[in-house]
Amino acid sequence: MKIFKTDDYLKLNNPTPGKIFRQEILGKDHQANELGGIFGLIVAHGKGDYHYHNRRESLLMIISGEAAEYVEGKEHPIKAGDVIFIRPGEKHTIVNHSDNDLRFLEFFTHPPVAADKISVE
């Protein structure tokens, strides 16, 4: 069993100041075979790359901040407390238009992280 305490991720200092940070929080080391997980931090005015996954389903739990999730080119405002489901094949990215960091936990099927990621831009 593993318990994810959101307070731990809210207190975590960004080891890459000014840059997006991602850290694996669930994987083979935790004996998770069908699920993976990351902690993500999108810095103020930062954005991820626009991409999709052929097989992966993802749940993102926003734990602090606000931003926009772009799915298939459509903007969806997101904020702390929101949970987002991304289906396989949906092109998506997060864009942080705010002056504060956005922090989230993401859990997904078909790990590892990079194996099924196809960049669009």
In a structure prediction context, what are the per-residue pLDDT tens digits for the chain, which is 121 residues long?
Answer: 999 999 999 999 999 999 999 999 999 889 998 999 999 999 999 999 999 999 999 999 999 999 999 999 999 999 999 999 999 999 999 999 999 999 999 999 987 666 678 899 7
- Distance in angstroms (rounded) separating the CA atoms of residues 77 and 94: 10
3-state secondary structure of 89: coil
3-state secondary structure of 41: strand
Structural domains of the chain in order of their starting residue, each with its CATH number: 24-119 (2.60.120.10)
